[in-house]
Structure 1
Amino acid sequence: MKSLPLSLILSGLLLAGVGCQVKNDPTPIGGQPALPDGITLVESVERETADQLIIPYKKYSLDNGLTVILHEDNSDPLVHVDVTYHVGSGREEVGKSGFAHFFEHMMFQGTENVADEGHFKIVAESGGTLNGTTSADRTNYYQTVPSNQLEKMLWLEADRMGFLLDAVTQEKFEIQRETVKNERGQNYDNRPYGLVRERVGEALHPEGHPYSWSTIGYLEDLDRVDVNDLKKFFLRWYGPNNATLTIGGDFDEAQTLQWLAKYYRPIPRGPQVDEPEKPTVELDSDRYISMEDRVSLPMLYMSFPTVSLHHPDEAPLDVLMFILGQGETSLLYKNMVKNGVAVQASSNHGCQELLCTFTIVALPNPANGKTLADLEKIIRESLAEFEGRGVNEDDLTRVKMSIVSSMIYSLESVAGKVTQLASYEIFEGNPNYIAQNIARYESVTEADVMRVYRKYIVGKPAVVMSTVPNGQLDQIAGPDNWERYQRALPDYMATSDADLAYRRAKDNFDRSIQPPAGDNPRISLPFIWRSELGNGVSVLGAVNDETPTTTIRLSMTAGQRDEPLEKLGLAAITASMMNEATLKSTNEELSNRLQKLGSTITFSADNNRTTVAIRSLSENVDATLAVAAEKLLQPKFDSDDFKRVKAQTLQAIQSSKTNAADTVASVYQELLFGRDNPFAYLDIGTVDTVSEITLDDVKAFHAAYYSSKIASIVAVSNFDRDELVKKLLVFEPWGGEKVTRVALQPFPKIEGTKLYLVDKPGAAQSEIRIAKRSLSYDATGEFYRANLMNFVLGGNFNSRINLNLREDKGYSYGARSGFSGEQDYGTYVASAAVRTDATQDSIVQIEKEVRHYAESGITKPELSFTKNAIGQRDARRYETPTQKLAFLSQIVQYKLDDDFVTRRNEILADIGQEEINNLAREHLDVADMIIVVVGDKQTIFPGLKELGYDIVELDADGNLVE
């Protein structure tokens, strides 16, 4: 078997390390001035030709052990700053799970020199965005800001690396402990299938293995510790010698090095950190476990332990994953989904530093009557079929291209490049690992794939987990033969102040002074070009020459709004059918072609539009567009495909009823816009309406609404206008009749505030929506001004509503409010998922904040914060092809002038307190709003009655409960 030709990856593209120059010379190079004291240049990776697929960087080391990676990219006036610590839940002790994630929260709670919640405020006011993430193996904190804010970000990150602990109080600890509990409730306990991975992790790993608990940890562990335990964890793992600081974007290298020396060099190194041991994970036999849950469908989850991150066998196992269970070319799709046995079946190979797992997941189609035992049998038969079938050259070509193209797409943003550099440094000690990474997949052979299949999968024990709806244990794959152990927790030993060995930095400057911003960067909007195809389809485009990729969005102004009420879900099902077979090709053949091109084509429909999203490596765009045109112009509308798509849609609807967030959204939209408007329902329809949709209905909707007369194209590519338009001529044969939009029906009258309650027995949280009909979309009108008004109330992390419910009360993982609108209608919604026992007071607090803001208005500091935060965001709004595409789509969908952003900036600069306050009084009258709550009625109903509102009980479909 030959390796995949590089020409298939990208024409003229060389791999990193082949034709790139790596210098390992600590002396100044290329005329670079002498480095600041305490900073050493480790290596420099440079691009020798413009078309090399590498990420140029310079790697430095500070004498306190901090690793610094600098990647200059002057294409946009922004910088991305990432600090990755080599610590995650895998470094935690038994009985102290969740510490790494907990500390991710604490790192945003202020330092000696930054006020509580100040980190969010400073970054937002700088026009930036930020977050932090925790995995089993690492924790990272990152900001993307305009380039003139770099010094401020370095000061912020250094402050929480070296000056955090004295600001960490027991009170902050208690609040964030509640926030973490709310996060667990929202993302694990209150989510369908949310506990599956935790249960599988317990069964797969030996007790005490660092992967035997989830990253968020156990609530009982969080409840048994105090703030000093958390401080001790920080002192052990959060030293500069266990961190990598990566900066990408538009910056001056010499100045940046001076700032690094100033802010980071005084921070003392922490304890020695060695590479973690990789304990062996072996199962002696299949472990069957099961769980009842509030789900609509049973799910089978099989997990095999394999290797570890970047192990030589990882790449062939990834290839095996694709062949077995990724996409329409896979065996699991053929044997389980294509024939209607399952609504979903796939495989995955997730890799972490200590262990990778090969998983197979399947959900049965209830119309077929199969149990999870039946599904397991088919899965094992599919594995046996693979052994007989083997691996062919087409498999390798397809899979390798899918993997390599995803790496190329990840380079479209500075954040993506920084993330790769940081990850490679943390786990390989080599930011330039991209060459070796691609080479790993290039070298995979048929024999490699068969070898790892036999070594890790066939005949090997796995954890087989069955998750079934409450009361359906007869559906499980097999009787449980492994019992969830009672965790053996060590006696708790409190950490005293004397146990904490603080490391104090010594500065020769006043670190409490926040660095000023540099000169405002010059923002350049994407240069827009226009054209039109011969059939009248308008084309709006922009050039992006930073990566050799092309992104296209073809849209038609027809969607759920245009469906008959008795056929709700028709637009979505029609779009799904467009993703299936054509008159010329089967779905498997289409999928095979696209995977070998490294391309994706997806049809979808929402309330008002049907969209074809196309993404391709530019060298393959002609072949990709040929597939897109075939799908658009020659759909087969096969009856077997229709049966499968319809069954999948029905199951998606049933599943949405078990998700409280989906339920509350569908209920409040129906109440606001009425049952006579199709868009008031979930896009996928209802069980009753979808059950009535026929294949003829799909064909009729396609004939009526898939018309070039209501279509437009937006595109971002490294091709210029003439080149790309020539390629888009493949759509010129497309015709169609003129289309008239369906008129909106009158909206129901809202008469005073009512509270609508949907019972979700046993829910760990309550979903709350306080909502009203409001302004339709207007990019430079009152809609835009109203969102400016809402920014400090509920439009950012430091908003009044979020600080109240999350940071002050610990009721919620996050709370927000905002205006959203289409051309003909809009809403104002305040939302939160809250602790069940805090449901009543959460409603009180949200209403209090809204009323107070409407009565008292915005403060001068809040207005200044709003102007600064929103006024500087443009520096990061047009970086990636996806962002440019969204900008172009706005112009097309809402018929905006090209300079609408300039007009917005003028509005922002001119708006004052009086106008903001008038908008608040006009649009924030609580008496005009309805309240919808989805939660455990038995627990929350007494408190809701005390609010004094009329309570109307509804079911999950929005029908009155008698």
Structure 2
Amino acid sequence: MRNFLSALCLFLIANTIGFAQEGTNQFSVDFETFTLENGLKVILHEDKSDPVVAVALTAHVGSAREKEGRTGFAHLFEHLLFLESENLGKGGLDKLSARIGGSGANGSTSRDRTNYFQTVPKDALEKMIWAEADKLGYFINTVTEPVLAKEKQVVKNEKRQGVDNRPYGHTFYVIDKNLYPEEHPYNWQVIGSLDDLQNATLQDVKDFYNKWYTPNNVTLTIAGDFDKDQAREWVHKYFDEIPSGEKIEEQEKQLVSLKKTKKVYHEDNFAKLPELTLAWPSVYSYHPDSFALEILTSYLADGKNAPLYKKIVEDAKLSGNVSMFNYTSELSGQLMLQVRAYDGKDLDSVHAVIQGGLAEFDRNGIPQKDLKRIKAGLETNFYNSISSVLGKGFQLAQYDIFANDPNFINKEIEKLLAVSSEDVMRVFRKYINDQHYVATSFVPKDQLELALENSEKAEVVEEKIVEGAEEDFDAKQAVDYPKTASSFDRSIEPPYSAKPELEIPEIWKTTMPSGLKVMGITNKEVPLVQFSLEIKSGQLLETKEKAGVANLLANLMNRGTAKKTPAELEEAMELLGARIYVSSSEEKISITGNTLAKNYAETMKLVDEMVLQPRWDESEFELIKQQTLSRIKQQEGDPNNIASNEFRKLVYGENNILSMNEMGTTESVENITLSDLKAYYSENLSPLNATYLVVGDLNLEKAKNSLKAISASWPPKTVDFPEMPEFEAPEKSQIYFYDVPGAKQSVLTFGAPALSASDKDFYAAEVMNYRLGGGSFASRLTQELREGKGYTYGIRSRFEDRSYIGPFLISSGVRSNITYEATELVRDILKDYADTFTQDDLEVTKSFMTKSSTRKFETLGAKLNMLKEISDYGYNDDYVAEQQQQVEEMTVMDIQELAKKYIDPDKMYFLIVGDAETQLEKLKDLGYGDPVLLNKD
């Protein structure tokens, strides 16, 4: 995506499944299809539940259509197609999205397809169809040498951020190079190589576009609240005259096999823990065996009942987690098993335990009850995936292209539920047992002894930091290009249709006898219920000596109850198709859940046990401590985690508990005992400070009934919360630097304490920030640093919402060799923002803020989030309407005053995590004194 997606994330998006219910056991998504004379396939799905519509354009081209030496082109076009087209002009779809209240135009690229998508208020549908047609027929002339040069820098920054400057970032590169032959189109990565991107010529790029981005290689999906006849008319109007391209031949499936097992290692500059990944050749998407493989991988590795989890995590205590998944693509696939071991653990010992676990599974097979629970979870997953119209639009295109049948959306559930235990064993023996695989050992620097024996060094291309290495370009250079002829004037933007009304859901409330507050929204679009029991507590009630106790308690509450072992609790959830998870944050401990409506009452009985009857299992407690210590160790190598942890210290001061990582420190976690968790639990969790939020297919009476047992058995107690200081900005700005030798990027985190979410200025400040850095491609920070200079893949600014004074924060990763220039540019943009904010800026801001309100309540998750804001910050039930009115009344002077009040670059913390040897010295010239090196020892 324009926000980086690893191959795994791409797999998960590509395989999300969407179904609507029809009757008791039948699933159906209604849709219509038609094909234009030029070959464009159109799929329409009508859903009147919310006044929004999703539009997605999916091109059947990914990295598999590229050639070795010319890689990364499909992903490059994912970027280019948003920038400009002949009739939308500079800014293209990004600029349009800001005005029409879109969800943020975005795209993603996989090995086999590229898609472009967003959700907009329904009155903007014609505008979106007009814009998507411009991508396909009226675009390529706008790609000039300066445009290409700039976007090359953006994509290279994306690769640095997602691959080169993070722990284990090269894993998929190493696996794919060894799993697929050189001539196989999955041998290279979707994002391509830095050299290939740099060497791409303008003609190379145009040739690639002209071959693959043609109507006969594209599917257009429209899903949501619209009139199908009107949509057909608009599609014909804007797409009909775009000429078809050359015939696209279907690629043959290219399954692979290995003649021997390959073992390779890589010393990872950022990794602090050793990681073992095994990859077996697998099958392509929708292969008959893919459904059994999905269930197999889930059974082997997911959760307390999984054989490999038991062997590796509980018995051998080599790691805190095991993951396994079947990564399928159009031509082939790969089964992936990954274990990130504890500090200092030899990966040969991990490998031996894996082999033992697989041999034991071969003997024992999969029990029927486990097959049943895994299938039960699929039903909930299916319903969750249809919460948004965009999800359904994605899937219809996915099935049309890769299953040659969009109606496969109504068939796949049958395939999954039909899998037998015999099927699972058959695919295990066919694809895993005694089969060759690729094994990668990623180990910390100077710890080669932890890699698998007899491993060979992996070939990994590491970029060198060279000053002035990037080519110069002028992104603002005016360039003339010929305009493509059309039968009508496409430069005239279509009008809005009927304005959608803002319909705020009805909220019902009550208070239980224990003092537990209840808030909910009835929604029957899907037979699901989502809920969250929010208990004010969290990090705020910790001491520095026992920092991390709330996090440990939340984790322990997930590990069984007084009546159920951890495995039994997990199994009980899965048989209901439910998920319940306890987590901790700065201000609360939350018990969140998602379940089928028909199983809601039974699910809440499990919540009752988890909240009121913790297990206090000593062995589980020690396991959680070890997992937490491992995560803390892991963060020490990740520049983004380092930046987050160090910025907390600057903003809140070393003496405040909020300055610490929510997991605590190695020392504090080691000091915590099970008795400390019991004390925290008994002293700090009270129904008087708790609110139960619920959304879905239920009513107030059903919600009250589900809480009676909890309310009756949970004794109310008064809890004293510490008074938070009035955190203040520093008197003057200072540069702080944390050295990560060899870092390929510098992570920038700039900001200062600002205001709380309950402050009367908070929402107004968010409005003010939209054009600065909150509006993605509509913001100045993005336009200047990414679009203007190519310094970064992404940059944003925001006000953190907290009940106490939270910070204003700017964050970005920039290429190392322009750290000074990027910091200087950010500072200058902040200095000039108030005085240069114009009426045009205000109009764009107002348009986005008011129109985007129609998307506030589309999904169950969005509705639940609305309830959280009302509960946490005391907002009125109709606060969304109030905010809309507030935006309408704001003036340019209001924005300017807010900017001067809350954004002062001369009173900020400028934190940089990067390579000190090459970047530190230059920062003295910013005028904020000598930079402070935070880890000079």
TM category (shorter chain) comes to over 0.9
For residues 299-350 of structure 1, the C-alpha deviation after alignment (integer angstroms, 9 at most, x for no partner) is 0000001111101111111111112111111011111112322122222111
Letter of the structure 1 residue corresponding to residue 717 of structure 2 = E
Deviates more, 1:803-812 or 1:531-540: 531-540
Structure-1 separation of matches of 2:394 and 2:545:
48
Instruction: Number of aligned residue pairs: give it.
Output: 898
Tell me which residue corresponds to 2:745: 765
Deviates more, 1:761-770 or 1:335-344: 335-344
Tell me which residue corresponds to 1:286: 261
Following superposition of structure 1 onto structure 2, how do residues 44-63 of structure 1 map, counting pairs within 5 Å?
52-63=26-37
Note closer, same or farther for the CA distance 1:778–1:48 as it changes in structure 2 (3 Å cut).
closer
Tell me which residue corresponds to 1:42: none
- Residue 438 of structure 2 corresponds to residue 463 of structure 1: yes
Structure-1 separation of matches of 2:91 and 2:554:
44
For residues 636-694 of structure 1, the C-alpha deviation after alignment (integer angstroms, 9 at most, x for no partner) is 11111111101111111111121111111111221111122112222111112112111
Which secondary structure does the structure 2 equivalent of 1:517 belong to?
coil
Which secondary structure does the structure 1 equivalent of 2:369 belong to?
helix
Structure-1 separation of matches of 2:798 and 2:366:
52
Contact between 2:274 and 2:345, CA under 8 Å: does it hold in 1?
Answer: no
Runs of 5+ unmatched residues, structure 1: 1-14, 18-45, 488-501
Contact between 2:165 and 2:744, CA under 8 Å: does it hold in 1?
Answer: yes
Contact between 1:203 and 1:484, CA under 8 Å: does it hold in 2?
Answer: no
For residues 737-793 of structure 1, the C-alpha deviation after alignment (integer angstroms, 9 at most, x for no partner) is 2111122256477231110010000000001122111111137x2111112112111
Deviates more, 1:769-778 or 1:835-844: 769-778
Tell me which residue corresponds to 1:240: 215
- Residue 55 of structure 2 corresponds to residue 81 of structure 1: yes
Following superposition of structure 1 onto structure 2, how do residues 217-232 of structure 1 map, counting pairs within 5 Å?
217-232=192-207
For residues 152-199 of structure 1, the C-alpha deviation after alignment (integer angstroms, 9 at most, x for no partner) is 000000001101111111100000000000000001000111111111
- Residue 273 of structure 2 corresponds to residue 297 of structure 1: yes
Which secondary structure does the structure 1 equivalent of 2:930 belong to?
strand
Following superposition of structure 1 onto structure 2, how do residues 455-494 of structure 1 map, counting pairs within 5 Å?
455-481=430-456, 484=459
Letter of the structure 2 residue corresponding to residue 538 of structure 1 = K
Contact between 1:76 and 1:249, CA under 8 Å: does it hold in 2?
Answer: yes
Tell me which residue corresponds to 1:346: 323
Structure-2 separation of matches of 1:16 and 1:745:
48
Structure-1 separation of matches of 2:624 and 2:189:
34
Structure-2 separation of matches of 1:298 and 1:879:
42
Contact between 2:255 and 2:284, CA under 8 Å: does it hold in 1?
Answer: no
Q: CA deviation at 1:533?
A: 2.3
For residues 919-959 of structure 1, the C-alpha deviation after alignment (integer angstroms, 9 at most, x for no partner) is 22222221111111000001101221222322343446xxx
Tell me which residue corresponds to 1:694: 673
- Residue 332 of structure 2 corresponds to residue 355 of structure 1: yes
- Residue 295 of structure 2 corresponds to residue 319 of structure 1: yes
- Residue 360 of structure 2 corresponds to residue 388 of structure 1: no
- Residue 891 of structure 2 corresponds to residue 907 of structure 1: no
Contact between 1:761 and 1:936, CA under 8 Å: does it hold in 2?
Answer: yes
Contact between 1:625 and 1:730, CA under 8 Å: does it hold in 2?
Answer: no
Which secondary structure does the structure 1 equivalent of 2:800 belong to?
strand
Q: CA deviation at 1:402?
A: 2.0
Q: CA deviation at 1:507?
A: 2.9
Structure-2 separation of matches of 1:511 and 1:782:
42
Tell me which residue corresponds to 2:245: 270
For residues 72-105 of structure 1, the C-alpha deviation after alignment (integer angstroms, 9 at most, x for no partner) is 1111100000111111111111111111101100
Contact between 2:774 and 2:797, CA under 8 Å: does it hold in 1?
Answer: yes
Structure-2 separation of matches of 1:730 and 1:618:
19
Length-normalised TM-score, structure 2: 0.93
Note closer, same or farther for the CA distance 1:844–1:360 as it changes in structure 2 (3 Å cut).
same
Letter of the structure 2 residue corresponding to residue 886 of structure 1 = N
Tell me which residue corresponds to 1:126: 100
Structure-2 separation of matches of 1:116 and 1:728:
55
For residues 848-899 of structure 1, the C-alpha deviation after alignment (integer angstroms, 9 at most, x for no partner) is 1010113x14111111000001111111110100000000111111122112
Q: CA deviation at 1:720?
A: 2.0
Deviates more, 1:334-343 or 1:252-261: 334-343
Q: CA deviation at 1:483?
A: 6.0
Structure-1 separation of matches of 2:594 and 2:701:
19
Which secondary structure does the structure 2 equivalent of 1:755 belong to?
strand
Contact between 1:554 and 1:711, CA under 8 Å: does it hold in 2?
Answer: yes
Note closer, same or farther for the CA distance 1:47–1:189 as it changes in structure 2 (3 Å cut).
closer
Tell me which residue corresponds to 2:406: 431
Contact between 1:267 and 1:506, CA under 8 Å: does it hold in 2?
Answer: no
Contact between 1:674 and 1:748, CA under 8 Å: does it hold in 2?
Answer: no
Which of 574, 580, 603 is the equivalent residue of 1:624? 603
Tell me which residue corresponds to 1:31: none
Structure-2 separation of matches of 1:331 and 1:427:
33
Deviates more, 1:163-172 or 1:942-951: 942-951
Structure-1 separation of matches of 2:260 and 2:113:
31
Note closer, same or farther for the CA distance 1:231–1:570 as it changes in structure 2 (3 Å cut).
same
Contact between 1:857 and 1:916, CA under 8 Å: does it hold in 2?
Answer: no
The share of aligned pairs that are identical, in percent, is 36
Structure-1 separation of matches of 2:632 and 2:184:
38
Contact between 2:129 and 2:235, CA under 8 Å: does it hold in 1?
Answer: yes
Contact between 1:563 and 1:678, CA under 8 Å: does it hold in 2?
Answer: yes
Structure-2 separation of matches of 1:660 and 1:278:
40
Note closer, same or farther for the CA distance 1:717–1:748 as it changes in structure 2 (3 Å cut).
closer
For residues 460-502 of structure 1, the C-alpha deviation after alignment (integer angstroms, 9 at most, x for no partner) is 0000000000000000012225864999xxxxxxxxxxxxxx9
Note closer, same or farther for the CA distance 1:317–1:245 as it changes in structure 2 (3 Å cut).
same
Structure-1 separation of matches of 2:934 and 2:450:
27
Which of 795, 801, 806 is the equivalent residue of 2:781? 801
For residues 273-319 of structure 1, the C-alpha deviation after alignment (integer angstroms, 9 at most, x for no partner) is 12212223111111000001121110000000111110111111111
Structure-1 separation of matches of 2:729 and 2:336:
51
Structure-1 separation of matches of 2:75 and 2:645:
32
Note closer, same or farther for the CA distance 1:338–1:468 as it changes in structure 2 (3 Å cut).
same
Note closer, same or farther for the CA distance 1:551–1:724 as it changes in structure 2 (3 Å cut).
same
Which secondary structure does the structure 2 equivalent of 1:342 belong to?
coil
Q: CA deviation at 1:838?
A: 0.8
Contact between 2:772 and 2:781, CA under 8 Å: does it hold in 1?
Answer: yes
Which secondary structure does the structure 1 equivalent of 2:778 belong to?
coil
Structure-1 separation of matches of 2:663 and 2:755:
25
Note closer, same or farther for the CA distance 1:903–1:484 as it changes in structure 2 (3 Å cut).
closer
Structure-2 separation of matches of 1:52 and 1:525:
31
Note closer, same or farther for the CA distance 1:99–1:795 as it changes in structure 2 (3 Å cut).
same
Note closer, same or farther for the CA distance 1:847–1:482 as it changes in structure 2 (3 Å cut).
closer
Contact between 2:62 and 2:111, CA under 8 Å: does it hold in 1?
Answer: yes
Letter of the structure 1 residue corresponding to residue 179 of structure 2 = L
Letter of the structure 1 residue corresponding to residue 827 of structure 2 = E
Note closer, same or farther for the CA distance 1:486–1:692 as it changes in structure 2 (3 Å cut).
closer
Q: CA deviation at 1:412?
A: 1.3
Note closer, same or farther for the CA distance 1:665–1:292 as it changes in structure 2 (3 Å cut).
same
For residues 117-151 of structure 1, the C-alpha deviation after alignment (integer angstroms, 9 at most, x for no partner) is 23111112101122100011111000100000000
Contact between 1:16 and 1:53, CA under 8 Å: does it hold in 2?
Answer: no
Which secondary structure does the structure 2 equivalent of 1:750 belong to?
coil
Letter of the structure 1 residue corresponding to residue 632 of structure 2 = I
- The two structures, once aligned, show a CA RMSD in angstroms of 2.0
Contact between 1:752 and 1:929, CA under 8 Å: does it hold in 2?
Answer: yes
Following superposition of structure 1 onto structure 2, how do residues 23-422 of structure 1 map, counting pairs within 5 Å?
52-129=26-103, 130-293=105-268, 294-339=270-315, 340-366=317-343, 370-422=345-397
Q: CA deviation at 1:209?
A: 1.1
Note closer, same or farther for the CA distance 1:749–1:66 as it changes in structure 2 (3 Å cut).
closer
Contact between 1:298 and 1:372, CA under 8 Å: does it hold in 2?
Answer: yes
